[in-house]
């Protein structure tokens, strides 16, 4: 949507004076701040490993999911109407904090938030066309605004917007109709609508709590917020919306270990099969999270990389810097080859539409997966990372199958796989013909490759071992 059109929609809307000048260029990438002091540490387990593995079974097979950041910040693409008639640049979905918008002012966005083009089934079709197997949506982001009809807080999409529809219910039901798993994101240690949510000072000297409406951090009591809002809302999500396959917490900040444990027990008491990510805090959870990066060697714990498709999580006016399908696919392969999952984000507009540029990239990614999905879904980490690409594998009663993902196709028709010296039953291009192979100097060489790569993004060779 053009900025002039958005400005027209801002007429007669409460404006903010004295903030930063407007601008629509994408904001520079900020250092990752997960709000989790134990983010770099291995997980602690409350349940036996076999029980955790059973919970994670479908997720580990899925490998690829859709992350959705959507909320009031989407209305004008992370911008806000200024007193001079321009849109003020809120930089990211954290615009309330960046512009230091008082809650009384920020909350008025709800009065015009009316995403009449929202179609949960269309979002599910987009995810399925991309080859994604699950969806996670921001049920409550840092601004504290709930996308469901929450009894614990009237600050929600049903009670405060003219739309008056429960987005969580509609998307949960659409996922079940479409055969996708469904989970919800919940901002745990940041909530700018609640007066009792403190955070520690960060490297930049600032806090991530609402210190413009409630500046005295010493008066904030996380336990009050935890009892008053967190636990009731988590209970609502797990008792009113059918199976919730995954609770994706964010920014645990000052949650205490006993509270993280209590939250885990609450979740599994209501839905034992529900997966919980690491950001429940204090090293608990079923899997670890890497944000905007792929760990060089993967991790011993189950893990997932969450990443944006462009440069922002929420819809940002003017950000057209979308990753090409080649980057998306090769990132997915790299992650799968290290035993991880890829949670790729889209930011729908304030009208409820996933941007066409996102849909295009996802469709192209899905086209590659339609041809090569067996080399991703249900695989585990590969034994080596060769210079020409990556390797995934599957183990079965008849032996091991290696999937060689070739990014750099050899010009001489010979592909060298270091470290494999025997036991090969067959080798073939996925969807194509067989290849000859031989052992040379402690390496396996696959010969008779075609002169050009079968797939310009990544070609797959299937090697079956005894």
- Could you tell me where the DSSP H helices lie in 192-281? 222-225, 231-240, 257-270
- Write down the residue that tokens 């990066």 correspond to: 293
pLDDT at residue number 33? 87
Question: Tell me, which fold does domain 3-30+60-378 have in CATH?
Answer: TIM Barrel (3.20.20)
**CATH topology for the 382-465 domain:** Immunoglobulin-like (2.60.40)
pLDDT exceeds cutoff 60 at 305? yes
Q: Return the H-helix or E-strand segment holding 59.
A: helix 49-62
Confidence check: pLDDT of 204 > 90: no
Give 196's pLDDT tier (boundaries 50, 70, 90): very high
Convert the pLDDT of each residue in 240-277 to its tens digit. Answer: 999 999 999 999 999 999 999 999 999 999 999 999 99
Query: How far, in whole angstroms, is CA 256 from its chain's centroid?
Result: 25
* This prediction's pTM: 0.95
What is the pLDDT at residue 31?
A: 63
Domain ranges of the chain: 3-30+60-378, 382-465
Retrieve residue 412's tokens: 């001489």
**In the predicted model, what is the mean pLDDT of residues 315-339?**
98
Query: Which two tokens mark 225?
Result: 């917020």
pLDDT over threshold 90, residue 9:
no
Q: What's the pLDDT at 300?
A: 97
Classified as helix, coil or strand, 425 is: strand
The mean pLDDT value of the chain amounts to 94
- How many whole angstroms separate alpha carbon 135 and alpha carbon 121? 12
Q: What is the pLDDT of residue 203?
A: 85
pLDDT value of position 143: 98
Indicate if the pLDDT at residue 6 is higher than 70: no
Per-residue pLDDT band for 30 (boundaries 50, 70, 90) equals low
Q: Decide: residue 28, CB within 10 A, 0-12 exposed, 13-18 middle, 19+ buried.
A: exposed
> Percentage of residues in the chain with pLDDT exceeding 90?
89
pLDDT at 430 > cutoff 80: yes
* pLDDT at residue 4 tops 70: no
Nearest Cα neighbor of 306 from 279, 268, 269, 267 is: 279
Q: In sequence order, what are the beta bridge partners of 79?
A: 89
pLDDT of res. 85: 82
Label residue 345 by pLDDT band (50, 70, 90).
Answer: very high
CA dist., res. 298 & res. 293, Å (int)? 11
Residues 412-426 pLDDT 10s: 999 999 988 889 999
pLDDT tens, residue by residue, 153-186: 999 999 999 999 999 999 999 999 999 999 999 9
Q: What percent of the chain is predicted at pLDDT more than 70?
A: 94
């Amino acid at each position: 949507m053009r900025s002039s059109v958005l400005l027209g929609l801002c007429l007669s809307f409460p404006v903010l004076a004295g903030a930063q000048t407007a601008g629509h260029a994408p904001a520079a990438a900020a250092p990752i701040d997960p709000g989790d002091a134990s983010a770099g540490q291995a997980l602690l387990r409350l349940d036996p490993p076999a029980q955790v593995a059973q919970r994670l079974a479908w997720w580990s097979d899925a490998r690829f999911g859709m992350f959705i950041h959507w909320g009031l910040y989407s209305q004008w693409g992370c911008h806000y109407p200024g007193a001079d008639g321009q849109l003020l640049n809120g930089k990211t979905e954290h615009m309330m904090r960046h512009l230091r918008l008082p809650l009384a002012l920020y909350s008025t966005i709800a009065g015009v938030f009316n995403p009449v083009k929202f179609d949960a089934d269309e979002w599910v079709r987009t995810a399925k066309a991309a080859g994604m197997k699950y969806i996670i949506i921001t049920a409550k982001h840092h601004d504290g605004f709930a996308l469901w009809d929450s009894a614990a807080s009237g600050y929600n999409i049903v009670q405060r917007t003219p739309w008056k529809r429960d987005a969580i219910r509609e998307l949960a039901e659409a996922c079940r109709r479409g055969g996708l798993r469904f989970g919800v994101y919940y901002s745990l240690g940041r909530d700018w609508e609640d007066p009792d949510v403190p955070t520690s000072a960060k490297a930049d000297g600032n806090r991530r709590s609402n210190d413009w409406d409630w500046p005295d951090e010493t008066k904030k009591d996380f336990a009050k917020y935890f009892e008053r809002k967190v636990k009731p809302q988590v209970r609502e999500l797990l008792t009113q919306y059918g199976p919730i396959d995954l609770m994706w917490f964010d920014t645990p900040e000052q949650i205490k270990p006993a509270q993280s444990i209590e939250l885990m027990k609450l979740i599994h008491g209501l839905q034992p099969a529900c997966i919980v990510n690491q950001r429940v805090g204090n090293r608990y959870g079923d899997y670890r999270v890497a944000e905007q990066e792929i760990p060089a060697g993967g991790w011993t714990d189950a893990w997932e990389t969450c990443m944006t498709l462009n440069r922002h999580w929420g819809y940002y006016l003017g950000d057209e810097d979308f990753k090409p399908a080649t980057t998306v696919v090769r990132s997915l392969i790299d992650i799968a080859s290290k035993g991880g999952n890829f949670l790729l984000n889209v930011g729908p507009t304030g009208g409820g539409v996933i941007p066409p540029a996102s849909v295009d990239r996802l469709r192209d990614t899905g086209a590659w997966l339609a041809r090569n999905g067996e080399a991703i879904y249900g695989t585990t980490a590969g034994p080596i990372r060769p210079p020409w690409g990556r390797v995934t594998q599957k183990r079965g009663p008849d032996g091991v199958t290696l999937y060689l993902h070739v990014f750099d196709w050899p010009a001489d028709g010979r592909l060298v796989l270091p470290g494999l010296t025997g036991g090969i039953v067959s080798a073939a291009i996925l969807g194509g013909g067989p290849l000859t192979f031989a052992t040379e100097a402690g390496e396996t060489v696959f010969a008779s490759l075609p002169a050009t790569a079968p797939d310009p993004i990544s070609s797959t060779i299937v090697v079956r071992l005894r």
